[in-house]
Structure formats: C-alpha cells, structure tokens
Amino acid sequence: MTIDAFIDALPKVELHVHLVGSASVETVLELSRRHPGSEVPTSEEELRRFYTFVDFPHFARVYQAVNALVRDPEDVATLVLGLARDLAGQGGRYAELQVTPYAHHMVGMPMREVTQALDLAARRSLADHGVEMAYIFDIPGEYGEEAARITVEHALQEPPAALVGFGIGGIEQERPKYRDAYRDAFTAARAAGLHSVPHGGEMSGPETMWEVIEGYGAERIGHGINCLSDPRLVAHLRETQLPLDVCPTSNVRTGQVPDLAAHPLPRMLEEGLYVTLNSDDPPMFATTLAGEYRAAAHVLGLGAAELAQLARNAVNASYLTTDRKQSLLKEIDTLAPLA
C-alpha cells in the first residue's frame, strides 16, 4: 500500500475545525450571492484571491466578513452538513466543530434557533454521511466581556445536545485586556461539565499557553506551536501529555511559519509532545484533513507508523465515548501493518 492509499484508508478524527471556516468555496459563493452588498466576492476567482492572507489579523477580517453571511439557522445547518459530507469523503468519522455563538448573536439569530439548527445538522450528519458531530462553543477573543457572557449563556441555557467543550479563539494578543472575564467564563463552563479546549500559542508566545493552562484549566490546546521556546513549558507538556491540536497549513497561510518545511511539528514529536493533526479552516486555506496527513508525509517526512499514531492520538484526545474510541482504534491498528 502506498502512503497516499494508506492516508485515504486511515480512519480520521477532526478535533480542530471551525464552522464558518469549513464552508466550501461553493457554499460561500452561494451565501454571498444570497446576501448581496457584503465585501465577500461573488465569483470563484475573486474569492480565491480574497483568501490570500497577509497575516493573522487580515485572516481574522476575512473570516469575520464570511461569518457575516451566515444569517439564519438554515445557513448554520448547511455549513455543518457540508463539513460532514467533505469529511466522509476523506475517511473522517467524527469531528468536534468549533462554533462561535456570539457571531450568530450579532446578526440577530436567537439562541434556541441556532441550537435547533445544530441539533438537526448533527442528526443528519450521522444519518446521511456517517460522520458523528460534536460541538465546541468558542469566544472570539478580541470581542471582550460581552462575547464571553453571550457564549457562556448560550452554552449553559440553550446548549445543543452534542456540546462537549468550551474554547476561545481569535487574536491572542487581545486577551490580556479581558483576562478576568475570560477566566470567569471558563470557570462557569467547566462547572457545567464542559471540557476546556482553548486556542493558545498560535500567534503569541508561551505566555498565552501558560494562561490557558493555569487560568482556563485547558484539557487540550488549539495549535500550541510556539511552546518550543520555553523549556519549562515543553517539559510540562511532555509530562502531562496535554494534547496540542496542530494545523500546519493554517499556520503557513496565516503567516505563523514561513512554509510547511519549516513547521515545528516534527520537533514537537521529537520532544515527546502529544500532537493531533487538524485542518482548522480547510477551504479558506486550500486544504483538507487528508491533505494535512499528506503534507505531514510528503513535506515533513512522517512515515505510516507516525501518521497512524497521530490518528490514534486524535481518537484518544477526543470526547467520544469509550466504546467508539475502542472501535476506531481497532480499525487503525488493523490498517497500520498494511502500509
């Protein structure tokens, strides 16, 4: 079996992908034509140029523009089902989809209607595509106290049935201004039984990772690629095996690393860190979950055994039931010796 055939056959779990960022080019074009007057282009050629990012703040502005096209619950369900369809074609079995309730609040969508759309989409994702969908509600980190409050209220008052986690994304450098509000939000979410899965160490240094560990009680960290400059942090991550959801192509496209060959993923593995492989915002970054495995193989030099271990890591770091984890791990273990 070639490495590409192995990647195609490998059962995959996606732990770091965003609702709006998962929208296919075709879906975004449909939405931009449905809602004229936005800054999002209505032609494919222009949209692909629109998705050429100068840096992370530029990416954040583009993301917000696309986000503003999601204006009703039907749009929300369409995005979830589109991701399920795309993952099914790549061997994807399960995803923990990051949803930003504050964005829907800003365009006037009631909490209950958003939740109903997410519930319906989760049922149809499994029935129509065989992909189990779970949700993580995240705070957009540059929006402050109101965003934190709305996100917690939605998570605690009108949660979708498949809500498993609570996170924070956006521009990390903005978070210190709202430190107490964000810590309080995570305290409330964790008290309600939600897992803490914040972004950290993507566009800022180890200090952000220490904050999510000590202030948010992080159980998994999105990205974490800038941990390597702090030996004490690396030692902590190695000792605790705190999972880091790494998204290589995303880091290149938003300017966090110069190119894929320079990505720190191989060194993170050499350091004994617990890593999973993910796509983040796949159509915006011209990638897929399977594409991230191909990049790890063809650019970063990982072999089939290492790719299989990354797939196992994702299963074990997920919030699937024990039975579902065991079933997927058995599939991976059966396939791995064939590569």
Paired strand residues for 167 = 138
**Can you tell me the distance from the alpha carbon of 310 to that of 13, in angstroms, rounded to the nearest whole number?**
10
Which of 14, 96, 202, 292 is the catalytic position?
Answer: 202
**Can you tell me the distance from the alpha carbon of 78 to that of 101, in angstroms, rounded to the nearest whole number?**
16
Pairing state between β 92-99 and 12-18: parallel
**Can you tell me the distance from the alpha carbon of 40 to that of 46, in angstroms, rounded to the nearest whole number?**
9
**Residues sharing a CB contact under 8 Å with residue 71, sequence separation 6 or more, in sequence order:** 35, 107, 108, 109
**Residues sharing a CB contact under 8 Å with residue 284, sequence separation 6 or more, in sequence order:** 21, 51, 59, 62, 63, 66, 253
Q: Tell me if residue 142 is catalytic.
A: no
- Number of other CB atoms surrounding residue 232 within 10 Å: 9
Q: Which residue is associated with the tokens 């160490």? A: 201
Active site residues: 202
